[in-house]
């Protein structure tokens, strides 16, 4: 049985008595126990800076700071402790007016980080600011960092008394003119104060009977599925039920906008890539769901796994997707004039074949969603989908529904860069047949 530790910490000046397991992260406690969701969790590995808080005067990545390492009577400052929508801190104001806020998921971590820097160095150079963000792993996928450095420089000038916050209002234009100005996006103030909600921020507001899902994923790259044994997992604490391919109410297939790229919602016959979903464990807590998911046994028959493009298209390679060649498309790219005369005169020519790995989109916000049956009997899914009507139509046959029986609500989106033009968690949420998940 876990040993709980009770400590009192002051969060934004307010004393909080907290009883938590020693290995809980400070980020979990701030978000779940205290209910301050302005502190975001992105990578959960201390590498993106979204979870930054100030702990006893020191900038701290709260996602990797365990409760047992937090001293009793500690002082913690989160984004909510800096300013409010009606009374912004100079750093928050500067981020708004310089255009340093785009998707906004990383913004609270950057603002807290900038505050900690200016507490130590009130007159930093642009390079000082960049070095600070590099040291504390602050990452932004949207801006390119120029506007963020601009914001810190502007805030520093205000805090030194050299300028007033109103001096930067000229960046926003006047007389209602927006075109050609750095007018802030409407959501900027909420994002600067940590009050803009992303998907995970709704967790504390879900009904008490909400089930949490853990997905059992393939741990091999290419194999036939010979059986899925859920017996032991079903007996685990808190488990409500487990969904496998046989429980899907439709044809268990997802068709994509590119012809020939059909795949199952849950693997029924074959695993085509590492991480393919095989089963969904539904339980009363996330912890119980994850623990039970580890007890699901998947029997497989390994097939050749190809770790690069040349091997996958080599003569005799086993076809990975039914009905689709491993060499899906050939495209000739020609640009400029004929090169043959140039090559004939060249002192040295080199001929070879080159290939590149897949380029991931790398949004800061993790994929998250939740779903339920609404009062009209529609399957309602909240996610970061940016193609909501197409996605409803795309997954309806697989779930045994008509498109108008599915409603997708777009949460605040922490960056997608095209990633969420594709279905990810939505069909898995829809495959879970209970009323709330």
Instruction: Read off the CATH number of the domain in which 153 is found.
Output: 1.10.150.120
* 250 falls within a domain: no
Structural domain contains residue 120: yes
Q: Are 98 and 179 within one domain?
A: yes
Listed residues 81, 116, 133: the one ending a domain: 81
Phi-psi region of 238 (alpha: psi -120 to 50; beta: other; left: phi over 0): left
What was the pLDDT predicted at 322? 84
Rg (CA), the chain: 26
243 within a domain of the structure (yes/no)? no
How many domains would you assign to the chain?
2
pLDDT at position 324 is 85
pLDDT for 337: 85
Structural domain contains residue 309: no
What is the model's pLDDT at position 170? 63
Helix (H) or strand (E) holding 231: helix 231-234
**Token pair listed for 90:** 């100079």
| Predicted local distance difference test score (pLDDT) of residue 248 | 93
Residue 53 lies in a domain: yes
Task: Note whether residue 189 is domain-resident.
Answer: yes
SS3 content of the chain, % helix, strand, coil (to 5): 30, 20, 50
Domain end point (choices 27, 57, 81)? 81
Predicted pLDDT of residue 336: 85
Same domain, yes or no: 190 and 96: yes
68 & 119 share domain: no
Q: Do 138 and 181 fall within a single domain?
A: yes
* Residue 419 resides in a domain: no
Which stretches of the chain drop beneath a pLDDT of 70? 1-2, 170-176, 257-260, 433-437
pLDDT digits (tens, 9 = 90+) for 238-269: 999 999 999 999 999 998 766 667 889 999 99
Within this chain, do residues 101 and 76 fall inside the same structural domain, yes or no? no
Same domain (yes/no): 98, 53: no
CA–CA distance, 34 with 393 (Å, rounded to integer): 39
Q: Which domain holds residue 124?
A: 90-196
Per-residue confidence (pLDDT) for residue 436, from 0 to 100? 46
Is 205 part of a structural domain of the chain? no
Cβ-contact 31, 108 below 8 angstroms: no
Among 81, 114, 141, which residue terminates a domain? 81
Q: Are residues 102 and 73 located together in one domain of the fold?
A: no
Q: Are residues 108 and 18 in the same domain?
A: no
115 and 168: one domain?
Answer: yes
> Distance between CA 312 and CA 17 in Å, rounded?
57
Residues 127 and 106 in one domain: yes
Same domain, 128 and 38: no
Q: How do residues 31-50 score in pLDDT, each as one tens digit?
A: 999 999 999 999 999 999 99
The reply to whether 46 and 115 lie within a common domain is no
Q: pTM of the full predicted structure?
A: 0.89
């Amino acid at each position: 049985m876990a040993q709980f530790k009770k400590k009192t910490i002051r969060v934004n000046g307010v004393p909080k008595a907290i009883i938590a397991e020693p290995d809980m992260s400070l980020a979990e406690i701030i978000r779940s126990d205290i209910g301050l969701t302005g502190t975001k969790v992105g990578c959960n590995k201390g590498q993106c800076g979204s979870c930054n808080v100030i702990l006893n005067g020191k900038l701290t990545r709260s996602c990797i700071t365990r409760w047992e390492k937090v001293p009793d009577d500690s002082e913690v400052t989160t984004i909510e402790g800096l300013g409010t929508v009606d009374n912004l801190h100079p750093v928050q104001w500067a981020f708004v007016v310089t255009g340093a806020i785009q998707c906004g998921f990383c913004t609270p971590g950057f603002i807290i980080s900038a505050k900690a820097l200016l507490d130590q160095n009130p007159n930093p150079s642009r390079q000082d600011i960049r070095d600070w963000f590099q040291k504390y792993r602050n990452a932004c996928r949207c801006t390119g960092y120029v506007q963020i450095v601009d914001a810190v420089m502007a805030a520093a000038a205000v805090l030194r008394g050299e300028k007033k916050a109103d001096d930067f209002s000229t960046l926003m234009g006047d007389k209602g003119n927006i075109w050609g100005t750095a007018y802030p996006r409407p959501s900027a103030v909420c994002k600067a104060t940590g009050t803009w909600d992303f998907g995970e921020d709704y967790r504390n507001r879900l009904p008490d009977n909400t089930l949490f899902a853990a997905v059992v994923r393939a741990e091999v790259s290419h194999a036939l599925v010979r059986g899925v044994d859920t017996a032991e997992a079903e007996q685990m604490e808190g488990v409500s039920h487990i969904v496998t391919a046989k429980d899907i109410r439709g044809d268990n297939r997802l068709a994509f906008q590119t012809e020939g790229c059909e795949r199952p919602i849950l693997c029924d016959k074959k695993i085509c890539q590492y991480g393919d979903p095989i089963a969904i464990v539904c339980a009363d807590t996330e912890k119980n769901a994850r623990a039970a998911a580890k007890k699901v046994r998947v029997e497989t028959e390994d097939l050749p796994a190809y770790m690069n493009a040349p091997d996958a298209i080599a003569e005799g390679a086993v076809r990975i997707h039914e009905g689709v060649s491993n060499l899906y498309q050939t495209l000739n790219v020609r640009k400029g004039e004929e090169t043959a005369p140039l090559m004939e005169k060249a002192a040295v020519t080199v001929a070879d074949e080159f290939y590149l790995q897949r380029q991931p989109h790398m949004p800061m916000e993790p994929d998250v969603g939740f779903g339920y049956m609404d009062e009209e009997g529609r399957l309602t899914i909240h996610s970061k989908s940016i193609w909501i009507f197409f996605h409803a139509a795309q997954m309806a046959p697989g779930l045994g529904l008509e498109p108008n029986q599915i409603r997708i609500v777009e949460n605040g989106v922490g960056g997608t860069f095209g990633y969420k033009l594709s279905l990810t968690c939505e069909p898995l949420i829809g495959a879970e047949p209970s009323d709330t998940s």
